């Protein structure tokens, strides 16, 4: 039953949020005012989290997909006893504050993921649900059994990434998802009917979701809807009809309350309308008691979980070891698969072999491809598919949903206990870029497998041939892009990926075969991002991936013309530039002229070649032809490289 203290606690969310926005003179007050009833019900009656142990692994996950309403989350966390203080609320959107403009991932503060780009939180939560279901299957419900709750907006549901994620969530019957939709009928441009008139409930029902429509200000109706959602085997969308800017006499139900402070005069009217007579940032003790006692539910759940865990481990020591493989995995070493020296093997094929070793060594490795599994060599052969009936499977069939795959893999990885990977052609990283960027921003160590990495995929032509993609991906901070050239480099690339803990890794792999070297490189040097593959004293040929053997062949031809060419393989620029300056100088040579060689855009290579250096690459779109013909046409042959280098050195 609704109580006076619950009403006060609900209004406290509204007032604290609008005060924080007003003090910052920046932010979005309308959503917190409109969703306060929903938030009060969820946090005080249902959400199972422990403010004293925010990173407890069996907590419910809460995702604020409509991250522009961040002050609502910060107010909830502060009032509930998480380590966000009233001074943090006052410092909203200020330099160095933990209360950033949009929530930035910090599980120790109760912020599960970075949100703001609409649709990403919705889709990432689907990944969290996959992780929960898989871990519950392999470790048991006594150790893993929680829900994923999320707040979503009209904007989230308009974005294509959410549509893709909703489709796969329904297909996989991810019943631990409960999303509450802020159906306030307002966007920045005006009313939603300017651009959004579909029947959202019917759409989600068609996806296989359980849908309910309620008054978003009737707390008992909201509670009943959440109860119904939590017992339904399907993912649930609760459509909450709300009023943006609720309580504002002049700005309620207008876009004017969406993204701008209400102003002191309007805030005074809101205080009067809600009967709130306290000064800014002052909250009654009973409100703190309401939220903090409500989350005693989480404290009790965690204590019960610890007791179950300790009993299970005492009864079966092997269970403790199995649990540690997921939540405290050791660093692993991956051996390079053997191929006959001189034979030709595509790095995507080598990667498929190394993946099997990685999956055997990393119990929590789970992922798949966007409908390109045979092409990406991305299947874990020793495992089944993850399905609605088989949660223990480790192969996720993402379908043709690259947008959602990116965010879902982030969610799998952010959840903890599992490591997500996703695969497609490199050219389709364009579809994934928002999620890849967000994963790098969060430090989520997801793994991306991108094959068919250059024009040498051949006849499919320029629509499928990546040109600018390597340069674009390398421009993303905190993303390590690894383009290996041989079995050793592929094995080290996978090793880097699975051992990383604070940044994602992209493995960029060839369709075409590359020669297997007779003398494998030193894997410790490979792990430093770049190394001298072949000594030389006149010029440096700096190459990656499929262009490393091209550089070696060109070096042979240059030697016949009296030019001593050093060949440097640089599988990962990001790791190499982190090495000490003495190692970098040792690899690149002191004052040697440098020519870069890569079958892609030359943009960015000037950081190594300098403005006067030679950059051999492709600064145009590709063409449809067999790979050999493309190489000749674009000058990416040993002869073509040789002539370019000779002309440049003579120049």
- The answer as to whether 437 is a domain residue is yes
Give the CATH number for residue 445: 3.40.50.970
**Of 97, 572, 79, 91, residue with least CA distance to 295:** 79
Can you give the pLDDT at residue 3?
72
Residues 121, 242, single domain; the answer is: yes
CA distance 570 to 489: 10
Q: Where are the alpha helices (DSSP H) in 483-613?
A: 487-499, 523-526, 547-559, 573-576, 581-588, 606-609
Residue 45, helix vs strand vs coil: helix
The three-state secondary structure class of 34 is: helix
Give 1's pLDDT tier (boundaries 50, 70, 90).
very low
Q: Does 351 share its domain with 293?
A: no
Write out the residue range of the structural domain in which residue 225 sits.
4-300
Specify whether 142 is located in the same domain as 174. yes
pLDDT one-digit tens code per residue, 335-393:
999 999 999 999 999 999 999 999 999 999 999 999 999 999 999 999 999 999 999 99
238 sits in which H/E element: strand 236-241
How far is it, in rounded angstroms, from Cα 170 to Cα 179? 13
Residue at 187 is within a domain: yes
Q: How far apart are CA 124 and CA 478, in angstroms?
A: 19
Cα-based torsion angle of the residue sequence 317, 318, 319, 323 in order, rounded to the nearest 10 degrees: 110
Q: Phi first, then psi: give them for residue 132, nearest 5 degrees.
A: -60, -45
> In angstroms, what CA-CA distances link 142 with 45, 134, 298?
22, 14, 15
pLDDT at 88: 98
Question: Are 486 and 616 members of one domain?
Answer: no
User: Which domain-ending residue is among 300, 332, 362?
Assistant: 300
Is the pLDDT assigned to residue 2 strictly greater than 90?
no
Q: Give a yes or no: residue 503 inside a domain.
A: yes
User: Using H for helix, E for strand and C for coil, what is the string for 262-318?
Assistant: CCHHHHHHHHHHHCCCCCCCCCCHHHHHHHHHHCHHHHHHHHHHHHHHHHHHHHCHH
Both 188 and 272 in a single domain? Answer: yes
- H/E stretch holding 506 reads strand 505-508
Asked if residue 307 belongs to a domain, the reply is no
Quick one: average pLDDT of 139-157?
98
232 burial type by CB count under 10 A (0-12 exposed, 13-18 middle, 19+ buried):
middle
Q: Are residues 273 and 361 in the same domain?
A: no
Q: How confident is the model at residue 644 (pLDDT cuts 50, 70, 90)?
A: very high
Q: Which residues of 182-198 are buried (b: 16+ CB within 10 A; e: fewer)?
A: bbbbbbeeeebeeeeee
- The candidate with the shortest Cα–Cα distance to 129, out of 73, 180, 168, is 168
pLDDT above 90 as % of the chain: 99
- Domain end position, chosen among 487, 515, 543: 515
DSSP-based three-state secondary structure for 532: strand
Whether 104 is in a domain gets the answer yes
494 token code pair: 């996978």
Q: Residue 269 falls within a domain, yes or no?
A: yes
Identify whether residues 491 and 623 lie together within a single domain. Answer: no
How many domains would you assign to the chain?
3
pLDDT confidence tier of residue 169, bands split at 50, 70 and 90: very high
B/e letters for 89-99, b = 16+ CB within 10 Å, e = fewer, are bbbbbeeebbb
Measured distance CA(84)–CA(428) in Å, rounded: 40
What is the pLDDT averaged over residues 139-147? 98
First-to-last alpha carbon distance for the chain, in angstroms, is: 85
Backbone angles phi, psi at 601, to 5 degrees: -55, 140
Q: What pLDDT, on a 0 to 100 scale, did the predictor assign at position 434?
A: 98
Per-residue pLDDT tens for 86-106?
Answer: 999 999 999 999 999 999 999
- 446, 534: one domain: no
- Angle at the Cα of 261 from the Cα atoms of 259 and 264, rounded to 5 degrees: 160
Given 486, 515, 544, which residue is the final one in a domain? 515
Q: Catalytic positions, please?
A: 402
Q: Can you spell out the DSSP letters for 593-639? A: -EEEE-SS--TTTHHHH-TTSEEES--S---SS-HHHHHHHHT-SHH
Question: Do 489 and 552 have their domain in common?
Answer: no
Residues 352, 377: contact at Cβ < 8 Å? Answer: yes
270 lies in some domain: yes
pLDDT of residue 646: 98
pLDDT at 387: 98
198 vs 163: CA distance, rounded Å: 13
- Summarised one tens digit per residue, pLDDT across range 413-472 is 999 999 999 999 999 999 999 999 999 999 999 999 999 999 999 999 999 999 999 999
Same domain, 411 and 549: no
Residues 389 and 271 in one domain: no
pLDDT, the chain, mean? 97
Q: What pLDDT band is residue 151 in, cutting at 50, 70 and 90?
A: very high
282, 199: one domain? yes
Distance CA 232, CA 418 (A): 26
Residue 552 lies in a domain: yes
pLDDT tens for residues 103-121?
Answer: 999 999 999 999 999 999 9
For tokens 């504050």, what's the residue?
Answer: 97
pLDDT tens across 40-61, in order? 999 999 999 999 999 999 999 9
**Which band of pLDDT confidence, cut at 50, 70 and 90, is reported for residue 651?**
confident
Instruction: Categorize the per-residue pLDDT at 590 as very low, low, confident or very high, splitting at 50, 70 and 90.
Output: confident
Sign of CA dihedral 552, 554, 560, 562: negative
């Amino acid at each position: 039953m609704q109580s006076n203290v619950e009403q006060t606690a609900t209004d406290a969310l509204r007032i604290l949020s609008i005060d924080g926005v007003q003090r910052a003179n920046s932010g979005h007050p309308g959503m917190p005012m409109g969703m306060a009833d929903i938030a009060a019900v969820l946090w005080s009656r249902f959400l199972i989290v422990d403010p004293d142990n925010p990173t407890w692994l069996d907590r419910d996950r809460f995702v604020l997909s409509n991250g522009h309403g961040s002050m609502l989350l910060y107010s909830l966390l502060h009032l509930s006893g998480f380590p966000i203080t009233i001074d943090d609320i006052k410092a909203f959107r200020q330099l160095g504050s933990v209360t950033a403009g949009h929530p930035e991932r910090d599980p120790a503060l109760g912020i599960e993921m970075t949100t703001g780009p609409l649709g990403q939180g919705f889709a990432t939560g689907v990944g969290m649900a996959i992780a929960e279901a898989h871990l519950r299957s392999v470790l048991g419900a006594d150790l893993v059994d929680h829900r994923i709750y999320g707040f979503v907006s009209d904007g989230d549901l308009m974005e294509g990434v959410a549509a893709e994620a909703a489709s796969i969530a329904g297909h996989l019957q991810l019943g631990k998802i409960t999303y509450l939709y802020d159906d306030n009928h307002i966007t920045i441009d005006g009313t939603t009917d300017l651009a959004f008139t579909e029947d959202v409930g019917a759409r989600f029902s068609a996806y296989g979701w359980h849908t309910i429509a309620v008054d978003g200000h009737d707390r008992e109706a909201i509670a009943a809807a959440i109860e119904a959602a939590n017992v339904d085997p399907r993912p649930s969308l609760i459509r909450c009809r709300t009023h943006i800017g609720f309580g504002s006499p002049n700005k309620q139900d207008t876009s004017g309350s969406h993204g701008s402070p209400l102003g002191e005069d309007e805030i005074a009217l809101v205080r009067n309308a809600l009967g709130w007579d306290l000064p800014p940032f002052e909250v009654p003790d009973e409100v703190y008691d309401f939220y903090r006692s409500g989350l005693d539910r989480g404290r009790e759940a965690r204590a019960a979980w610890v007791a179950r865990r300790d009993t299970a481990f005492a009864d079966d020591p092997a269970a403790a070891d199995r649990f540690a493989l997921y939540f405290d995995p050791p660093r692993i070493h991956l051996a390079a698969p053997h191929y006959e020296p001189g034979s030709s093997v595509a790095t995507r094929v080598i990667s498929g072999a190394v993946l099997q070793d990685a999956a055997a060594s990393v119990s929590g490795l789970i992922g798949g491809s966007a409908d390109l599994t045979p092409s990406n060599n991305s299947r874990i052969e020793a495992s089944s598919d993850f399905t609605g009936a088989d949660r223990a499977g480790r192969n996720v069939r993402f379908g043709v949903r690259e947008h959602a795959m990116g965010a879902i893999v982030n969610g799998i990885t952010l959840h903890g206990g599992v490591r997500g990977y996703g695969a497609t052609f490199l050219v389709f990283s364009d579809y994934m870029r928002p999620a890849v960027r967000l994963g790098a921003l969060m430090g989520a160590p997801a793994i991306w497998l991108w094959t068919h990495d250059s024009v040498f995929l051949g006849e499919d032509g320029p629509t499928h041939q990546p040109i600018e993609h390597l340069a674009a991906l390398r421009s993303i901070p905190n993303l390590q892009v690894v383009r290996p050239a041989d079995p050793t480099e592929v094995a080290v690339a996978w090793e880097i990926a699975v051992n990383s803990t604070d940044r994602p890794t992209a493995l960029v792999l060839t369709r075409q075969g590359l020669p297997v070297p007779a003398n494998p490189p030193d894997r410790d040097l490979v792990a430093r991002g770049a190394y001298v593959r072949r000594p030389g004293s006149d010029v440096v040929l700096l190459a990656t991936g499929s262009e490393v053997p091209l550089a070696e062949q060109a070096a042979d031809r240059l030697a016949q013309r009296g030019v001593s060419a050093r060949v440097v393989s640089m599988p990962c620029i990001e790791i190499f530039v982190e090495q000490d300056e003495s190692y970098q100088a040792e690899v690149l040579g002191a004052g040697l002229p440098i020519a870069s060689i890569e079958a892609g855009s030359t943009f960015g290579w000037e950081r190594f070649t300098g403005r006067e250096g030679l950059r051999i690459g492709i600064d145009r779109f590709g063409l449809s032809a067999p790979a050999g013909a493309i190489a000749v046409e674009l000058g990416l042959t040993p002869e073509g490289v040789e002539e370019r280098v000779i002309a440049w050195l003579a120049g």
